[in-house]
Amino acid sequence: MWDYTEKVMDHYRHPRNVGSIEDADAVGIAGSLVCGDQLKIYLKIENDIVTDAKFQTFGCGSAVASSSILTEMIIGKTVDEVRKITNKDIADELGGLPPEKMHCSVMGYEALEDALKNYKAEGYVDLDEIKANDEENKIICTCFQVTKKTIIDAIKTNGLKTVDEVTNYTKAGGACGRCKGDIQKVIDEYYNGKAEKEDIKDLTPTQRILKINNIIETQISPELVKDGGDIELVDIKDNDIYVKLRGQCSGCKNSTMTLKLFVESTLKNALGSDINVVEVN
Amino acid sequence: MADKIIYLDNNATTKVDEKVLEEMLPYFKEEYANPSSMYDFSKNSSRAIREARGKIKDLLNAANEKEIIFTSCGSESANTAIRGVLNYDKSKKHIITTKIEHPCVLNVYKMLEKQGYKVDYIGVNANGELNLDELSHAITDETALVSVMWANNETGVLNPIEEISQIIKSKNKETKFFVDAVQVAGKIPIDVQKAGIDMLGVSGHKFHAPKGIGALYINSKTMITPLIIGGHQERGKRAGTENTPYIVGIGKAAELAIDNLEYEMTEVKRLRDKLEKNILQNIYNARLNTGLANRVPNTTNIGFEYIEGELILLHLSDLGICASSGSACTSGSLEPSHVLRAMNVPFTSIHGSIRWSLSRFTTEDEIDYVIGELPKIIDEITSISPYQNELKALKEMRMVK
């Protein structure tokens, strides 16, 4: 049995805003019947504000919960605000999802993105942008029809490092597995090329906290748990990242070394920028 | 959690019968002696094991109780049989099995392939029935082992074991035949002699014994190299001090399985058929995945088109109803069940397939409750599906029929 949060259970038991909108201003679709989940989202937009949103979902409990909460998150927001919502925001709003179910939140994000892409396209087609998007729209995983862009977005938002993580978040590579090499290439390309240029200062403070926290949760904490300890993010000030060590780690003679060597190098690697890790009690 | 549990997942595991537990308890308390010991105190435990072995012999209709060894589970029985035979005679490197075997068997073959064995995986038709022609053609002089499950755990579809045995022996008398009988013990009569089986594995917790005990039949003509090496227990075929209380448990469970076989094949079947018939009649997007295939009496696998299985299970679970699904989402593997895929179950229903498996403890009231509640759940989930047009067309089509 999955360890779903109360909020996830509440939303699949009582999904909000189910249905369709006849005269919707934007409609977005993600997933397919073959893959085992599909989400359709309908938006009513007036004066640049989302006044209504409805959804229909074919999928598991977390897919329905992600769709349901997404509609709640966007009603009343401006289109620009809605564009900033990521899969992580959806998962966080639900109080978290099991790692194997993160792709459900990604599906919500994709459907939303698809809807807004259609919305923008009304009466305006930017040929240069279409051309630039060709490489991004390349299908990496043919089984689940996952594009390079989807994979890069998931890597960027969630600080993913391994092919398995990409599979958990986007499903890519989850069926025949033939594209695993290509996924590794996308990961390598992202961290070798773009990551070096990307400065975490470019992110909004919230995005930055989320990103750092995600790296700690997915890449650092599991390693420390193996040795009976754990780590918790306390605060971030400029380039200083304050963390608290729990259990076996705190007071351990090696903890300073653990911090300096492992935590810092992992964060530096993932963020591609200079940071200092400070332990607080 | 719901107050009352309606347990329709008996192919996953079963409730321990009170009578089984009662029989086991003295061997935890007073009768703790090592059955191999030389004093009088050990006589009761060694006699209990002998009796239990006799009961398993009766359940399988083996010629001699020496052909029965106790293991820790169905997986160990399968591993001991398969690897035992291949390790004993390493001259032949060809194995035949099916695409729908349980992972505890399939993963052994995946490993053996890496060690240089050639493995043929025989397919099934849309009802889940094995392609016997394909099987027959695959057997060569090089075939060391054929391994076929008696009934599939997801669909309950029975394989014609006796016929398969005749095919094998007519093609190659040397080829050994292993049958994974985990899903048939206590559900249909088993006769290893009549069926011409060399090795057969069962698991206690699938027929109301506790988890952690299994048995393996190896006929007297079949030699194996043991998997677990150590003491002389189980005639040198499985080392380790005998798990007396659990062996007593599986023995009692086998005795009860024989006593209740008639009930399983009539009353449990009647309840299964009632559940199945009502679901198919009352729910327009329900589809029986096995068609008219011959099945064990307790199992039915039904797909609900254009909706997803995990969500159905979660809603059922809120009412205390336990079933299982071959959907990708429940397993976390992203891939739907390898069994349903081998059957080419359409994508419209593969993700929404639910397995219902009853036992002799299932009551008519429980089945009536499920029959009453399920349409509401399916209706609710169907109403949020994005495939409303397809569902409408399906509904109209079924109405015409």
Q: What is the pLDDT along chain A (281 residues), one digit of tens a residue?
A: 788 999 999 999 999 999 999 999 999 999 888 778 899 999 999 989 999 999 999 999 999 999 999 999 999 999 999 999 999 999 999 999 988 888 888 889 999 998 988 676 454 444 445 555 677 778 888 777 888 888 988 898 888 888 888 888 888 888 777 788 889 888 888 888 754 445 555 667 777 777 888 888 877 887 777 766 778 888 877 778 888 877 655 555 455 555 667 787 788 877 767 788 887 76
- Confidence (pLDDT) at A256: 58
Nearest CA of chain A to the CA of B386: how many Å?
A: 5
Q: Do A33 and B336 touch (CB under 8 A)?
A: no
Residue A135 CB burial class (10 angstroms; 0-12, 13-18, ≥19): exposed
Contact B384 A100 (CB under 8 A): no
C-alpha B95/C-alpha A239 separation (Å) is 61
If you measure CA to CA, which chain B residue comes closest to A169?
A: B334
**Which residues have a Cβ under 8 Å from the Cβ of B173 and sit 6 or more positions away?**
none
Phi (first) and psi of residue B325, to 5 degrees? -135, 150
DSSP character string of chain A: -----HHHHHHHHS-SSBS--TT-SEEEEEEETTTTEEEEEEEEEETTEEEEEEEEEES-HHHHHHHHHHHHHHTT-BHHHHHT--HHHHHHHTT---GGGHHHHHHHHHHHHHHHHHHHHTT---HHHHHHHHHHT-EEETTTTEEHHHHHHHHHHHT--SHHHHHHHH-TTSSS-TTHHHHHHHHHHIIIIIHHH--GGGS-HHHHHHHHHHHIIIIIHHHHHHTTEEEEEEEEETTEEEEEEEETTTT-TTHHHIIIIIIHHHHHHHH-S--EEEEE-
Q: Is A179 among the residues known to form the active site?
A: no
- At residue B328 the predicted structure's pLDDT band, cuts being 50, 70 and 90, is low
Partners of residue A55 in chain B, C-beta under 8 Å: 384
Percent of chain B predicted with pLDDT > 70: 98
Distance CA B386, CA B392 (A): 12
Q: What is the pTM of this model?
A: 0.79
Report angle CA B86, B87, B93 to the nearest 5 degrees.
40
Confidence of residue B330 (pLDDT cuts 50, 70, 90): low
Nearest to A158 by CA among A96, A230, A233: A96
Chain A neighbors of B387, CB-CB under 8 A: 33, 38, 58
| Residue carrying the six token digits 């009453």 | B372
Query: For A1, which residue in chain B has the nearest alpha carbon?
Result: B330
Give the tokens for residue B289: 């995945």
Domains belonging to chain B, first-starting first, are: 6-12+261-400 (3.90.1150.10), 18-257 (3.40.640.10)
How far separated are the first and last CA of chain A, in Å rounded? 36
Residue type, B64: N
List Cβ neighbours of A206 (8 Å cut-off, separation of 6 or more). Answer: none
Tell me, what's the pLDDT at A128? 46
Residues of B identified as active-site: 329
Gap between the Cα atoms of A156 and B278, Å rounded: 50
Cβ distance of B333 and A174 shorter than 8 Å? yes
Residue B100 — φ and ψ, nearest 5°? Answer: -110, 15
Predicted ipTM of the assembly: 0.88
Name which of A200-214, B141-155, B157-171 the model is least confident about.
Answer: A200-214
Interchain CB distance below 8 Å, A58 and B314: no
Closest partner CB to B347 (pick from A33, A55, A175):
A33
- Chains A, B: CB pairs < 8 Å: 76
Q: How many CB atoms lie within 10 A of CB A72?
A: 13
Q: Which residues of A touch B328 (CB under 8 A)?
A: 36
Position A253 scores a pLDDT of 47
B382: closest chain A residue by CA: A58
Quick check: helix, strand or coil at residue B120?
Answer: strand
pLDDT of residue A123: 42
CB B375 within 8 Å of CB B282: yes
For A2, the closest chain B residue by CA position comes to: B330
Which residues of chain A are within 8 Å of residue B348 when distances are taken between CB atoms? 33
Chain A residues close to B324, C-beta within 8 Å: none
CB-based contact B386 A58, cutoff 8 Å:
yes
Q: State whether residue A28 sits within 8 Å of chain B by CB.
A: no
User: What are the residue ranges of helices labelled H in B42-145?
Assistant: 43-60, 74-88, 103-114, 132-138
**Residues of chain B found within 8 Å of residue A58, distances taken between Cβ atoms:** 306-308, 351, 385-387
Residue that wins the pLDDT comparison between B231 and B18:
B18
Residue ranges of domains in chain A, CATH in brackets: 6-121 (3.90.1010.10), 127-197 (1.10.10.1100), 202-280 (3.30.300.130)
pLDDT in tens, B235-255: 999 999 999 999 999 999 999
pLDDT at position B329, please?
Answer: 61
A120: burial class by Cβ within 10 Å (0-12, 13-18, 19+)? middle
**Facing B384 at nearest CB: one of A9, A15, A37:** A15
From A164's Cα to the closest Cα of chain B, the distance in A is 11
Alpha-carbon distance B70 to B49, whole Å? Answer: 10
> Would the CB atoms of A36 and B314 count as touching at under 8 Å?
no
Strands (DSSP E) contained in B125-212 are: 143-149, 176-180, 199-203
Option in A37, A57, A174 nearest B384 (CB): A57
**Whole-Å CA distances, A190 to A107, A130, A161, A185, A200:** 21, 21, 10, 8, 15
